[in-house]
Amino acid sequence: MTSLSDLPIRDDLRGKKPYGAPTDPVRIQLNVNENTHPIPEAVATDIVTALAGAVMSANRYPDREFTELRESLAAYLGHGLTADNIWAANGSNEVLQQTLQAFGGPGRRVLGFPPTYSMHPIIASGTGTEWVVAPRDPGYEITSKSVVAAIAEHQPDVVFLCSPNNPTGTPVSNDAIAAAYEATDGIVLVDEAYAEFSDRESALALLEGRPRLIVSRTMSKAFAFAGARVGYLAADPAIADALRLVRLPYHLSALTQAAAVAALAHAPEMLAMVDDIKLQRDRMAASLEALGFTPVPSEANFVLFGGVSDPSELFHKLLIQDILIRDVGIPNHLRVTAGTEAETTAFLDAMADLRALGRVDK
């Protein structure tokens, strides 16, 4: 049997690990921060009708410029943005990859602030971009002072700021983002995958007059469309021109474009559960705290909580009850996605039982 190490793979990929969130089907799946509410049936019916139309003309390549989708996304974001400001791809991970293909690459570096989204270093490695890191402030925050100091030290070509941050749920203030922009001649990308769950002003408000700033978003989380694979960014139109140099032709299929446009026409219904998810998130944090754990204040749809003596043991005790959460590798911490009210209750009941049984020590 041939193993990976027998192949003439690039030296810089030797020994690397792929993205590895478990995908076993379980009753209560709270591990990858999806919106766990299904798509409303009336919306699904409209999407199916749009897909049927797209299938009829699938003998032709799709609109390479996905103009209608860019118009729909600009209207959804507001902030005076137009289709020219928008770029989209198959998930925001592809948007990040194209960004590093255009602005990173061999001999260049991207700066991140761990603990952060596990895909950021993986996308860096896939594009041959060096991943350099700087520490966060207490409470997983990033102050203007720290971000400016980190940029001065590392001289990155690209800065990745994740706000609210995965896996901590902590935001980066627009002041710190603006300070980062002033401190570099490179690209500053704010990954706002969870923006719809935060009450804070988006970094979209900073775009005017900052042509090296990129705000990336996704339909995978609040928008309940993870399976469709649609991510996008807002930036100066010149950024889209840069990404046109690295994208594959017709990268967004006609089916993806049709489905996303139809879903965006129903944005209020698709986002209807966001307020409830925020309520469940806050209930989760309060209940975990009452059980003696230490939740990190979250502006996303998940909660990172500390005070876990043995994360792997607690993870597996939940898994045998068919409840899947996430061990993100932070000592004494686990992360859990806010689910429906019933899913959240099932998780909290299981946690209370484990605590009562004395199986989990602080």
CB of 190 to ligand PLP, least distance (A): 10
Nearest-CA neighbor of 78 among 205, 265, 190? 205
The two structure tokens encoding residue 171: 């935001």
- Which residues, at least 6 apart from 54, have a Cβ–Cβ distance to it below 8 Å? 62, 254, 255, 257, 258
Q: Which is nearer to ligand PLP, 233 or 291 (CB)?
A: 233
Binding mask 180-219 for ligand PLP (x = CB under 6 A): -----------x-x------------------------x-
In 3D, which of 240, 284, 269, 237 has the Cα closest to residue 95? 240
Prior bond of 167 cis (ω within 30°): yes
Q: Where are the alpha helices (DSSP H) in 108-265?
A: 119-126, 144-154, 174-183, 237-244, 254-264
From the list 281, 20, 30, 305, the residue with the least C-alpha distance to 140 is: 305
Q: What mask, x for binding ligand PLP by CB under 6 A, covers residues 293 to 332?
A: ----------------------------------------
Binding of residue 33 to ligand PLP (CB under 6 A): yes
Count residues near ligand PLP (CB under 6 A). 14
Q: State the nearest-atom distance from the C-beta of 160 to ligand PLP, in Å.
A: 9
Strands (E), the chain: 28-29, 86-89, 109-112, 130-133, 158-162, 187-191, 213-218, 231-234, 294-295, 302-306, 323-324, 334-337
Q: Which is nearer to ligand PLP, 193 or 308 (CB)?
A: 193
Stretch that binds ligand PLP, among 15-23, 90-98, 136-144, 319-327 (CB under 6 A): 90-98
Residues whose CB falls within 8 Å of the CB of residue 275, separated by 6 or more in sequence, listed in order: none
DSSP-based three-state secondary structure for 174: helix
In whole angstroms, how close is the CB of 231 to ligand PLP at the nearest point?
Answer: 4
Strand partners, 109: 130
Binder of ligand PLP out of 112, 115, 231, 339 (CB under 6 A)? 231
Least CB distance to ligand PLP at residue 230 (A): 7
Smallest gap from residue 166 Cβ to ligand PLP (A)? 4
Closer to ligand PLP by Cβ: residue 159 or 350: 159
Q: How far is the CB of 107 from ligand PLP (least distance, A)?
A: 25
Mask of contacts with ligand PLP, 233-272, x by CB under 6 A? ----------------------------------------
Residue 26 one-letter amino acid: V
CB distance 262 to 228 below 8 Å: no
Shortest gap between Cβ of 226 and ligand PLP (angstroms)? 6
Q: Output the CA torsion sign for 172, 175, 178, 179.
A: negative
Minimum Å gap between C-beta 221 and ligand PLP is 6
Extract the tokens encoding 307.
């005070």
C-beta separation of 207 from 79 below 8 A: yes
| Sole window of 45-53, 85-93, 196-204, 331-339 interacting with ligand PLP (rule: CB under 6 A) | 85-93
Q: Which of residues 104-123 bind ligand PLP (CB under 6 A)?
A: 117
List 220, 280, 287, 344, residue binding ligand PLP (CB under 6 A): 220
**Interface residues toward ligand PLP, by CB under 6 A:** 33, 91-93, 117, 162, 166, 191, 193, 218, 220-221, 226, 231
